[in-house]
Amino acid sequence: MINALKISEKDNVVVVIENITKGEIINYRDLDGTEKKFEANDDTKIYHKIADRDIKKGENIIKYGEHIGVALEDIKKGDHVHTSNTEGRREDLKDKE
């Protein structure tokens, strides 16, 4: 059963569409339709983010294809991505106009 969404091919997180408990399998479809699965490392509330790959300290967090923050520590695949391990820092979209 699908319980997460990947919004852009650039994203390094998925958004869960139901509450997730630690050890539960995250199941989503990649943008090409391929079903992907991995284990959640943390309890995560609905509409929050989980890393779908390892993210190194200092690396951008990407959601909706845009930078929404920076990892304050190494984040492992399956970890909840939230204010405890990221710093909000949105991409300056004015530079793209």
pLDDT at 89: 74
pLDDT at 86: 92
Structural domain total, the chain: 1
Q: What is the pLDDT of residues 58-92, one digit of tens each?
A: 999 999 999 999 999 999 999 999 988 998 876 56
Sign of torsion over alpha carbons 69, 72, 77, 82:
negative
Q: Which of 95, 44, 37 is nearest to 66 (CA)?
A: 95
Q: What is the pLDDT of residues 3-36, one digit of tens each?
A: 999 999 999 999 999 999 999 999 999 989 999 9
The domain that holds 75 is classified in CATH as 2.30.130.110
Q: What's the N-to-C CA distance of the chain in angstroms? A: 39
Domain that holds residue 44: 4-96
pTM for this prediction: 0.88
